Homo-oligomer: A and B are copies of this chain.
Amino acid sequence: MKPIQVGLLGIGTVGSGVYDVLRRNQTEIQRRAGRGIAIAAVADLDLERARAIVGDSVPVLADARAVIARPEIDIVVELIGGIGVARTLVLEAIAAGKHVVTANKALLAVHGTEIFQAAQQRGVMVAFEAAVAGGIPIIKALREGLTANRIQWVAGIINGTTNFILSEMRDKGLDFGIALAQAQQLGYAEADPRNDIEGIDAAHKATILSAIAFGIPVQFERAHVEGITRLAATDFKYAEQLGYRIKLLGIAKRQASGIELRVHPCLVPAKRLLANVEGAMNAVMVQGDAVGTTLYYGKGAGSEPTASAVIADLVDVTRLHTADPQNRVPHLAFQPDALSELPILPMSAVQTSYYLRLCVADQAGVLAQVTGILAAAQISIDAVLQREAEQGAAQTELIILTHQTREGAMDAALAQMQALPTVLEPIVRIRKEELA
């Protein structure tokens, strides 16, 4: 049978990985898929770079639309990124009846509803394993592997750049700025790192995970997004003493009244596997009512790990493109007419526990004042760590771990504590997840 024909839009880091792996493993892949997969045309604005990769064997065009329009193309792989041109091209490919494989998390987190509806109407697939956690087949695990389960929560390290920075901060006692600069030097962080360090990239991925875990539409605009820029070396030290690590987590959690969708730094018990995911690696935990806790670990970025996910999608589409569209796996794991209306909860309704670091005056009664406020708010305390003031210092640090409470209650208590004259600096608050 003639190989399935793929049009590749964008041949940068991931695109060249797709090209290389498809060529290197073509026998292995065909033995699995039962059919060859061939790159039939490439679109890239940098024609020279593109031709240096693919040689003369494949036509290279500057015009992505011309690639989409080629009648022989069965599948369009979108690796351009961003939510502008990529959206137009993906919708155009769908309209032309092409299946789409994309690694573009931002696009799907923001415009997923529009794109999946268009694909549904046109009877084509949009596959996106590469959009979350690179080479880890987490989309497949959630959409197909855990279909028996009522998912309770998903929590993951889904941004390698920030996990690398946090690992360095912990291992070497570095403050954020220095760790970021090192990560940039080593190529783990981009020159403009905001998308990673502000938590935006992780929130795109968490949004996609929330949709396929709970059968809700993608709602990036309702995600709580908080990055790692305000973390200090001292908090890593205290966390360690208390038996925790600090990780940037993307969390999607079911509550009776809705879904929590949030990205922020978290204390995680040091004995959890997730706490021991180091460097640029990714890992996602999924808790289902039948299966219990499962975890998926691997490289979350990079040329060939991401290409691994893109090609897995190509094989899936190759297998399924002749199947009745009714019988395909639904884009968001649940049938499009069976999506849930469970709302994304506001942050004030989120339930979690907390690590608080207060810089307080070294005088009698401070602990009673602070704990009195928490008691009045019915927030119970799990552990307190009070450092003796250094000789001659008029201030000291007070660390409090709380049990679970509503974020709204904690916000109110924090405002009261902050107003105490004995609390001398802005209180540091880091959320804590037991993940059990």
The reply to whether B298 and A297 contact each other, CB–CB distance below 8 Å, is no
Docked complex: A303-326 residues within 8 A CB-CB of B: 304-305, 307-312, 315-316, 319-320, 322-324, 326
A124 → chain B closest CB, angstroms: 16
A133 to chain B: closest residue by CB: B294
A303 → chain B closest CB, angstroms: 9
Docked complex: A131-174 residues within 8 A CB-CB of B: 135-137, 140-141, 144-150
The reply to whether A295 and B296 contact each other, CB–CB distance below 8 Å, is yes
Tell me, in angstroms, the Cα distance from A298 to B297 when the chains sit together.
Answer: 12
Please name all residues of chain B whose beta carbon is closer than 8 Å to the beta carbon of A324 when the two chains form the complex.
322-323
A409 → chain B closest CB, angstroms: 31
A85 beta carbon closer than 8 Å to chain B: no
Per-residue interface assignment for chain A, residues 34 to 76, with 1 indicating a CB less than 8 Å from any chain B CB and 0 otherwise: 1000000000000000000000000000000000000000000
A382 beta carbon closer than 8 Å to chain B: no
Tallying the copies of this chain within the complex gives 2
A148 → chain B closest CB, angstroms: 3
A292 beta carbon closer than 8 Å to chain B: yes
Tell me, in angstroms, the Cα distance from A298 to B148 when the chains sit together.
Answer: 15
Please name all residues of chain B whose beta carbon is closer than 8 Å to the beta carbon of A296 when the two chains form the complex.
294-297
Please name all residues of chain B whose beta carbon is closer than 8 Å to the beta carbon of A297 when the two chains form the complex.
273, 294-297
Tell me, in angstroms, the Cα distance from A169 to B336 when the chains sit together.
Answer: 51
**Residue among A129, A145, A334 having the largest count of chain B Cβ atoms under 10 Å:** A145
The reply to whether A315 and B137 contact each other, CB–CB distance below 8 Å, is no
A293 → chain B closest CB, angstroms: 7
Tell me, in angstroms, the Cα distance from A304 to B150 when the chains sit together.
Answer: 12
A152 → chain B closest CB, angstroms: 12
The reply to whether A25 and B273 contact each other, CB–CB distance below 8 Å, is no
The reply to whether B273 and A147 contact each other, CB–CB distance below 8 Å, is no
Known interface pairs A148-B308, A276-B273, A276-B276; A21-B290 also in contact (CB < 8 Å): yes
The reply to whether B328 and A148 contact each other, CB–CB distance below 8 Å, is no
Docked complex: A364-384 residues within 8 A CB-CB of B: none
The reply to whether A328 and B319 contact each other, CB–CB distance below 8 Å, is yes
A199 beta carbon closer than 8 Å to chain B: no
Please name all residues of chain B whose beta carbon is closer than 8 Å to the beta carbon of A326 when the two chains form the complex.
34
The reply to whether B315 and A322 contact each other, CB–CB distance below 8 Å, is no
The reply to whether A315 and B273 contact each other, CB–CB distance below 8 Å, is no
A33 beta carbon closer than 8 Å to chain B: yes
A55 → chain B closest CB, angstroms: 21
The reply to whether A319 and B308 contact each other, CB–CB distance below 8 Å, is no
A1 to chain B: closest residue by CB: B326
A289 beta carbon closer than 8 Å to chain B: yes
Interface residues of A (CB under 8 A from B): 17, 21-22, 24-25, 28-34, 129, 135-137, 140-141, 144-150, 215, 273, 276-277, 283, 288-299, 304-305, 307-312, 315-316, 319-320, 322-324, 326-330, 333-335, 338, 340
* Sample of 12 more A-B contacts, CB < 8 Å, known A290-B311, A322-B323: A21-B149, A21-B289, A24-B289, A135-B291, A135-B292, A140-B140, A141-B145, A147-B311, A288-B308, A293-B299, A295-B296, A297-B297
**5 residue pairs, one from A and one from B, having the closest CB atoms:** A137-B145, A148-B311, A294-B298, A135-B291, A31-B338
